[in-house]
Amino acid sequence: MNVASFLEKSARQWGENPAYIHGAEQRTYTEFLDRVLRVGGGLRALGLAPGDRVAFVLQNSPRILETIYACFAAGLVVVPVNARLHPREIAYIAENSGARVLVYDPDFAEGLAAHRDAFPGVEWWVGLAPAEGHLLFEDLATGIEKLSTVIDVAPTDPCWLFYTSGTTGRPKGATWSHRTATAVLMNYLADVHPIEPGEVVLHAAPMSHGSGIVAMPAIARGATNAIMPAGSFSPNALFAEIERLRVGHIAFVAPTQIIAMLDEFVPGSYDLSSLRAVLYGGAPIYVEQLKQAIETFGPVFVQIYGQGEAPITISWLSARQHAELLAAGDARVGSAGITRTDVEARIVDADDNLLPPGQVGEIVARGDMVMLGYWNNPEATAETMRGGWLHTGDIGMFDEKGYLFLLDRAKDVIISGGNNVYPREVEEVITQIPGVANCVVLGIPHDYWGEAVHAVVMPERGRTFTEREIIEHCAAHLAGYKKPKSVEFMDELPLSGYGKVQRRELREKYWEGSGRRIGGGVAAPAAG
């Protein structure tokens, strides 16, 4: 089944329901489907064939939903790009995916233009504002090149490339098929939250990632996607939208956003009684903060644990479980919940042998929600998918009741404010500085961000640097959230007998007494 078929059905059943609201813009499901078929037809008229890739870098707006579903409908593969990335990082993803089209927001026009030579494979630039030599998105959305219907696809045909990094520092495209997306959609409704027709689903986090994925089950149920204006997260603006639109479900928030909500909420200032579920993940959250959130906003929080290779999700902790475990003082509220209904998950040792409850090892999973593999990267696919199981790279254990506890991240991923930061990627940028002999980047505890990016730099003999120099160099080459928040300097880095930097030894001193090895403090882990 083509995932866009769910939109066709919603337009047929609930055609007059608002499909999305964004500021003053509002369109029904009938209008939404019409624009999707026109954009899809316009892309095909450019000469794109089924399987071709279309990348986008957009701020949150209905254009994201229209681009994603136009690609689905036309049999194309959508490549969402994090809008916070540096133009060079965007260029790498565009080129690695082989994207022939790049849809972009005016906010990024200057940066993309300055690095135009880094996009040799992009044949068509589609902007949301007029630009010389570029196509205008609105011309596609209102054009005459309209698909008559959603095209047929095979279940295993790719539809989405989700770029995620690893220990190499280079992003890899986790390839989702229409079967993957359908499984994610259906199982979200079955396990995580049963979205109802007409329910208002609010998007306050980037729709190129978790929030946009949750839009799929919302669209399948004829719900209204309310999209917050682009810009910095504002809890009071969020509260006002919940009250104004009678929001039932917040599609996705990072724990840092929950903390900000707690900091700014004044009891009685807004009517939030319509809320039924708030999905969170992507980073740890302190148990005390979670308890305060439930006391303040009600038993509405739902946690997910997954990754780009197994989107939404491997395990979950329901709103009911949150409330019951907290009330009982049960430590399982600090777990990543239980394995979802249609998912198999295990803990294995270094030789992939199954480990019993209580023993620590790598988390592996399988099910229809698992990716096909990494785009054009058979070596990484074979390593990650060996034995038919997705090897998450996360270290954890199951208890005797089947609750999953995350203990560490084998791939050393830093999760700061819900964003994944891959140390090797930052290290490569720092070591480009003349006079830097070596460096290690690691995550250290931070009360607000969960983890902060910290760099340990070893200068060449006789050279000195300031913390500011290192941070500013990173800012010129990486997205802002990836640059170190702090830097220390060492004459020598600790090495193993094999000459490998002992990252864990460096990290250990920051985490002593924290009770956890990722995320800081006594936390309820979650990862997106």
The predicted-structure confidence for 443-464, as pLDDT tens digits, reads as follows 998 888 888 999 999 998 899 9
The proportion of the chain whose per-residue pLDDT surpasses 70, expressed as a percent, equals 93
* Encoded tokens for 84: 């916070």
Residues 424 and 336 in one domain: no
Write the CATH number for 231.
3.40.50.12780
Residues 437 and 399 in one domain: no
For residue 255, what pLDDT band results from cuts at 50, 70 and 90? confident
Residues 106 and 245 in one domain: yes
For residue range 291-348, what is the model confidence (pLDDT) as tens digits?
A: 889 999 999 999 999 999 999 899 999 999 999 998 898 989 888 999 999 999 999 9
- Other C-beta atoms closer than 10 Å to the C-beta of 146 total 17
Please tell me the least confidently modeled range out of 8-12, 126-130, 276-280, 450-454.
450-454
Domain count, the chain: 3
Q: Which pLDDT score, from 0 to 100, does residue 328 have? A: 92
DSSP string, 113-160: HHTGGG-TT--EEEESS--TTSEEHHHHHTSS---SSPPP--TTSEEE
For the chain, give the mean pLDDT.
90
For residue 104, what pLDDT band results from cuts at 50, 70 and 90? very high
Please tell me the least confidently modeled range out of 48-62, 288-302, 350-364.
288-302
Answer whether residue 528 shows pLDDT above 70: no
Q: Which pLDDT score, from 0 to 100, does residue 73 have? A: 98
Q: Which pLDDT score, from 0 to 100, does residue 513 have? A: 65
Query: Comparing C-alpha atoms, which of 106, 107, 104, 124 is closest to residue 48?
Result: 124
For residue range 172-212, what is the model confidence (pLDDT) as tens digits?
A: 999 999 999 999 999 999 999 999 999 999 999 889 988 99
Answer whether residue 392 shows pLDDT above 60: yes
Residues 264 and 124 in one domain: yes
Residues 65 and 203 in one domain: yes
Residues 271 and 311 in one domain: no
Residues 405 and 428 in one domain: no
Note down the domain range covering 100. 5-143+157-164+171-283
Residue ending a domain, among 385, 409, 433, is 409
Q: Which pLDDT score, from 0 to 100, does residue 496 have? A: 54
Residues 336, 329: Cα–Cα separation, whole Å: 16
**Taking residues 227-253, what's their average pLDDT?**
92
Write the CATH number for 483.
3.30.300.30
Q: Which pLDDT score, from 0 to 100, does residue 229 have? A: 83
Residues 64 and 184 in one domain: yes
In a domain, 517, yes or no: yes
In a domain, 373, yes or no: yes
Q: Which pLDDT score, from 0 to 100, does residue 248 have? A: 98
DSSP string, 90-113: HHHHHHHHT-SEEEE-GGGHHHHH
Residues 248 and 267 in one domain: yes
Residues 361 and 402 in one domain: yes
* Encoded tokens for 219: 């669209």
In a domain, 294, yes or no: no
Which of the two residues, 497 and 462, has the higher pLDDT score? 462
**Taking residues 61-65, what's their average pLDDT?**
98
Distances from the Cα of 5 to the Cα of 1, 37, 153, 190, 219, angstroms: 7, 11, 11, 19, 10
Task: Give the best-scoring range by mean pLDDT among 50-64, 230-244, 479-493.
Answer: 50-64
Q: Which residues of 58-81 are buried (b: 16+ CB within 10 A; e: fewer)?
A: bbbbbbbbbbbbbbbbbbbbbbbb
**Taking residues 505-511, what's their average pLDDT?**
83
Q: Which pLDDT score, from 0 to 100, does residue 302 have? A: 95
Please tell me the least confidently modeled range out of 39-48, 285-294, 314-323.
285-294
Q: Which pLDDT score, from 0 to 100, does residue 344 have? A: 97
Which of the two residues, 378 and 410, has the higher pLDDT score? 378
**Taking residues 42-62, what's their average pLDDT?**
97
In a domain, 289, yes or no: no
- Bridge partners of 436, per DSSP, are 459
Q: Which pLDDT score, from 0 to 100, does residue 153 have? A: 98
Residues 26, 48: Cα–Cα separation, whole Å: 30
Residue ending a domain, among 409, 442, 471, is 409
Q: Which pLDDT score, from 0 to 100, does residue 420 have? A: 76
Residues 278, 299: Cα–Cα separation, whole Å: 9
Write the CATH number for 399.
2.30.38.10
Answer whether residue 282 shows pLDDT above 80: no
Residues 399 and 278 in one domain: no
For residue range 108-166, what is the model confidence (pLDDT) as tens digits?
A: 999 999 999 999 999 999 999 999 999 999 999 999 999 999 999 999 999 999 998 64
Residue ending a domain, among 350, 384, 409, is 409
Residues 422 and 501 in one domain: yes
